Amino acid sequence: AQKVTQAQTEISVVEKEDVTLDCVYETRDTTYYLFWYKQPPSGELVFLIRRNSFDEQNEISGRYSWNFQKSTSSFNFTITASQVVDSAVYFCALSEAGPGTYKYIFGTGTRLKVLA
Amino acid sequence: DVKVTQSSRYLVKRTGEKVFLECVQDMDHENMFWYRQDPGLGLRLIYFSYDVKMKEKGDIPEGYSVSREKKERFSLILESASTNQTSMYLCASSLIAGGPRETQYFGPGTRLLVL
C-alpha cells in the first residue's frame, strides 16, 4: 500500500544552519509523483516542488534543494542557510497513476523552527 | 495565480449543529478536495469531486457530506457536528488533465471548534 513517512516530527535549528527534512515513501507503482508543500503559520499550504518517478535529477531553487533517490525511496528536502521565515510545517506527498489518480497521500509533516 | 478561498478562517459551533464549509476556486479546475488536518496525522482526504454533482469518498467520509452544484464551488457539510470534528479543514483544487501529476492548490483553511 502507498505510504509517506516523515519521521521527524519537529526540528529546531539556529538561523543560518542547514537543515534536511526527510521523506520516505512506499508505492508499488512505477509511475508516481512526489510533492513538497510548506504550511506557514497562516495555514495555507504552499506548493514547493513536484518530481516524477522517472526524473532522479536533484533540483536546486535558491536556498532550497531536493534529493530524490529511488533506490532508497526517499525525497529529502534541504534548506541551506535557514532563515526565521522558513519556520513552518513541511509536508511531503505522493500521487500515483491508477484508480483514484487525483489523490495525494500526505506524510504527517515536519515542523521546522528556525531560531534567531 | 490560482486562488482558492474558504468562507471562514475560524468557526465555533455547538454539538449537533449543522455546519457548512464553503470553498471557491477561480481557475476553472475540475477537481476539488476537502481534507482535515490533525496534529500527528497529517492531511486526510474526506471527499473529492471531479465534476459538478460528482463526488467520491476519501479516506474518512464518515460524518460528512459534500455538495458541488457549480464547478467553482465545493461545500463540506457536517450534518450534526460532534466534538471529534474539531479540526483544521483545508480545501484544494487541481486540473484533471494531467491526472496524478497535477498540482493541488490549497485554500487558507478553516479552523473549526465544536463545543
Q: What is the pLDDT of residue A103?
A: 78
**Which residues of B are less than 8 Å from A45 in CB distance?**
90, 92, 106
Closest CA in chain B for residue A48: B103
Strand bridging mode A110-115 / A10-14:
parallel
C-alpha span between B73 and B70 (Å, rounded): 5
Mean pLDDT within B15-29: 96
Q: What integer pLDDT is reported at residue A109 of this predicted model?
A: 96
By C-alpha distance, the chain A residue nearest B5 is A44
pLDDT for A101 beyond 60? no
In this predicted structure, the answer to whether residue B40 has a pLDDT above a threshold of 90 is: no
Chain A contact present for B40, CB below 8 A: yes
pLDDT of residue B6: 95
Q: Which of A21-30, A53-62, A81-90, B40-49 has the least mean pLDDT?
A: A53-62
Closest by Cα among A44, A17, A21 to A109 = A21
Q: Does B102 touch chain A (CB under 8 A)?
A: yes
Q: Do B101 and A100 touch (CB under 8 A)?
A: no
Averaged over B53-82, what is the pLDDT?
A: 95
pLDDT of residue A11: 97
Q: What is the mean pLDDT of chain A?
A: 92
Contact criterion met (CB < 8 Å) for B40 and A9: yes
The pLDDT, as a whole number, for residue A29 is 86
- % of residues, chain A, pLDDT over 70: 96
Of residues B103 and A25, more confidently modeled: A25
Mean pLDDT of the region B41-56: 92
Convert the pLDDT of each residue in B86-96 to its tens digit.
Answer: 999 999 999 87
Q: Where are the alpha helices (DSSP H) in chain A?
A: none
Phi-psi region of A28 (alpha: psi -120 to 50; beta: other; left: phi over 0): alpha
Q: Report the alpha-carbon distance of residue A77 to residue A65 in Å, rounded.
A: 6
Instruction: For A46-100, write each residue's pLDDT tens digit.
Output: 999 999 888 888 888 899 999 999 999 999 999 999 999 999 999 999 988 766 5
Q: Give the lowest-confidence range in A69-73, A99-103, B18-22, B24-28.
A: A99-103
Smallest Cβ–Cβ distance between B101 and the set A33, A91, A107 belongs to A33
Average pLDDT over residues B35-64: 93
Give pLDDT, residue A59.
86
Q: In which residue are the cell numbers 459551533 written?
A: B13
What one-letter code names the amino acid at A7?
A
Residue B57's pLDDT is 92
Q: Determine the average pLDDT of the residues in A27-35.
A: 90
- Do the beta carbons of residue A5 and residue A106 sit within 8 Å? no
Give B56's contacts in chain A (Cβ within 8 Å).
100
Arithmetic mean of pLDDT over chain B? 93
